[in-house]
Structure 1
Amino acid sequence: MQTSLENKKQLFDRNSLVNQVRKWGDVNTEGILSSTCQFFSDPRIEGFIGYRIESGNAVVFGDPVCAAEDKQALAKTFQQYCRSQKIGVVYIIVSEEFANWAAQNLGSVLIEFGEKFVLNPLSNPIDHKGSTAGFVRNRVKRARLEGALVQEYCGDNPDIEKALQEVAITWQKERQGPQVFLADFTLFKDRVGKRWFYAKQEEKIVGIIILSELQAYNGWLLNSVLITKNAPHGISELLVISVLQTLAQENCQYISMGPVPGNQLGKIIGLSGFSKTVARWVYQLAKKVFHLGGREAFWKKFEPTIYPSYLLFPEKNLSYSSIKSLLKALNAHV
């Protein structure tokens, strides 16, 4: 059953890969669809595990991409395979259910580091009571008063597509400071299961939101919010609220965002008291260096349901090399 990594990569043509990600993927979608990702599969199981080899470790993006009842078997087979290849394993952005199972069955160090935010479009935060909802309403109102409006791009207009590409390129160039991200940004690659919404002001495109289908949840992953430097105040909120209103008309009840680094590390299993203290201190330092708090503050304005996200180090594979591999997989640079 075991074959070389190169042979395993050839098991997937791009279309079948994208279709399986749309079928079972979650917040790991972008990392798995990155050109740097490799794939492990078991012929007895429909699905795969997506990962990158960094510093002698296989860094896995999220839960195994397969039916829920097959995750454990696929993870065990992958662990055996990596052991035979003498490489360690690190999981990032995994669900609480999979993390708890791995802690008990793979001898894993478990660290709660992030959050997945989920919104129900049928309960639009702009209709809620309270100061937070009022703040979002005011931001949306301000953007509309400045002449902004939101439309969906249906993939059939080369002129609009060119303008969207120009916004994306400008947005990437304007990003400054230390960066952490799962994958290089792509706007129109892997179009199946994608949607694009854009904000205009006086015929000029000033913001974009990209959605990726999550069939397992009958919903969507909100991948990216791209805003131009001189966009009207409140354009980000207007884009999000407009997308929620569109999805509500389709009776969609699920849209997720993430992973978003948490304010601090949560549950930690498998480390000594001293190591836990060091881990929490290092995390707070990383938050400051990479400015990781901005996304959390932005999404909490929409009053989401919050689910924890975890790092896993199976077989106690927590070392200098595994941390180094994790940082490389997150494209962390200053």
Structure 2
Amino acid sequence: MAVTSTETGAEKRILEAIRTHTASENPSSFLALNSGNSMFTVPGADGVVVYRRTGRWAVQFGGPFAAEDDYDTLLDAFRSHVRDEGLGLVGVQLQRGDAEHYARRGFTVNQIGASWAVSLAEFTLRGTRFMQLRNKISRAHRNGLTIQEVDAGDVRDAVATIDKAWLGAKGGAHELEFLVGQIGGAAQAHRRLFVGAIDGAPVAYISYSPVHGSRAGWMHDLSRRIPEGSPGLMEAINAHAIEVFRAEGVAWLHFGFTPFTGLDSGYELDGHSSAFQWLTRALWAEGAALYPAQTQLSYKQKWAPDVVIPEYVAFDGPAASLPGFAHVFRACNAF
């Protein structure tokens, strides 16, 4: 058994696993390549487990990215390893297939939110339902917005300036990690970055990450703007990117995972925690201080998603663990 964090070739092995083993259909799988993640492998098993250790917890990202015949081998070995280390185990952003594997092994599994996707084949912004969206986009362009796809290395300082202003407007909020994308690092060559500028000064950007599987395409990932900038900046950049993707024949644009959204009792598995189910609904209604789920969902719904994909959290044990749940947010640097 091998456990590695930043060994030479780790990124290459993770990238190969998420490209090859798409059975779980995790649209956020590219986040496995974020810097700061650790990788767990088993000799002879085809696949990887990606996680972060926070305090006395291992927070696993998604299920094992593994060949079907090796999926349970990796899951069981990782679970044993975590227990041998005296840690608790919580897995987040599990897809439905992952959730069923975990539930069969005695994990307590609950829906924690959803991700959203738009089919691009017939996508158009025409029609009355997109009128407000078109108006915001037009306003940004009237205010002088120009948009380009750029190399991240060429706009490093501009991105840093936007990030600083964006975080400053949030009262010095922490830079989120783990379940959100990043710019830079070994994986940057696989991402795409679109930047909007007014009068030559960059004012907003959206980074897109590749998505593999039956709904292959791109995921609208990290996005930030100058707080005092023109209305419609993000909408205009995303609309521009959509036209680029459509011209390339890209089939799907994903909008990523948002906790506490898309909750539906019909998505829950047998053995789920009723108390945790209540908590997620309470956090949707009143939990903006923890995560702005309603604001995030409002932006995604502007694009009329075609697919809602439920995502799950799994706790190793017969009950949902509040400390385990808290450590998911700690792994994200939310507090």
1:11-53 Cα shifts (integer Å, max 9, x gaps)? 55354156336625741433x3343321111222333111112
Match of 1:207, SS state, is: strand
CA RMSD of aligned residues (A): 2.9
Amino acid at match of 1:291: P
Match of 1:40, SS state, is: strand
Match of 2:135, SS state, is: helix
Aligned to 1:312: 314
1:117 is the counterpart of 2:116? yes
Q: How does 1:199-238 map to 2 (within 5 A)?
A: 199-216=196-213, 217-238=215-236
Q: How does 1:80-159 map to 2 (within 5 A)?
A: 80-103=80-103, 105-127=104-126, 129-131=127-129, 133-154=130-151, 158=154
Shift of 1:67: 4.2
1:246-270 Cα shifts (integer Å, max 9, x gaps)? 0001000022122112347434442
**1:70 and 1:279, CA in 2 relative to 1: closer, same or farther beyond 3 A?**
same
* Distance in 2 separating the partners of 1:222 and 1:198: 13
* Distance in 1 separating the partners of 2:212 and 2:273: 40
* Distance in 2 separating the partners of 1:204 and 1:180: 23
1:131-166 Cα shifts (integer Å, max 9, x gaps)? 2x222111112212222121111457x4x4433333
Contact 1:264–1:283 under 8 Å retained in 2: no
Q: How many residues align?
A: 323
* Distance in 2 separating the partners of 1:264 and 1:248: 27
Contact 1:221–1:255 under 8 Å retained in 2: yes
**1:84 and 1:225, CA in 2 relative to 1: closer, same or farther beyond 3 A?**
same
Shift of 1:199: 1.0
Shift of 1:294: 0.8
Match of 1:315, SS state, is: coil
1:256-293 Cα shifts (integer Å, max 9, x gaps)? 12211234743444256556445644664434543331
Aligned to 1:165: 160
Aligned to 1:192: 189
- The unaligned stretches of length 5 or more in structure 2 are none
* Distance in 1 separating the partners of 2:169 and 2:273: 42
TM-score of the aligned structures, taking structure 1 as reference length:
0.84
**1:227 and 1:155, CA in 2 relative to 1: closer, same or farther beyond 3 A?**
closer
Percent of aligned positions with the same letter in both sequences? Answer: 18
1:71-109 Cα shifts (integer Å, max 9, x gaps)? 333222222322333322111111112112321x21121
* Distance in 2 separating the partners of 1:275 and 1:220: 31
Aligned to 1:19: 15
Aligned to 1:291: 292
TM-score of the aligned structures, taking structure 2 as reference length:
0.84
Contact 1:20–1:65 under 8 Å retained in 2: no
Amino acid at match of 2:191: K
* Distance in 2 separating the partners of 1:191 and 1:327: 24
| Aligned mate of 1:250, from 244, 248, 254 | 248
Shift of 1:196: 0.9
Contact 1:22–1:214 under 8 Å retained in 2: no
Which shifted more, 318-327 or 275-284?
Answer: 275-284
Shift of 1:119: 1.8
* Distance in 2 separating the partners of 1:328 and 1:21: 26
Contact 1:61–1:93 under 8 Å retained in 2: yes
**1:95 and 1:278, CA in 2 relative to 1: closer, same or farther beyond 3 A?**
closer
1:38 is the counterpart of 2:38? yes
Amino acid at match of 2:320: L
Contact 2:118–2:252 under 8 Å retained in 1: yes
Match of 2:158, SS state, is: helix
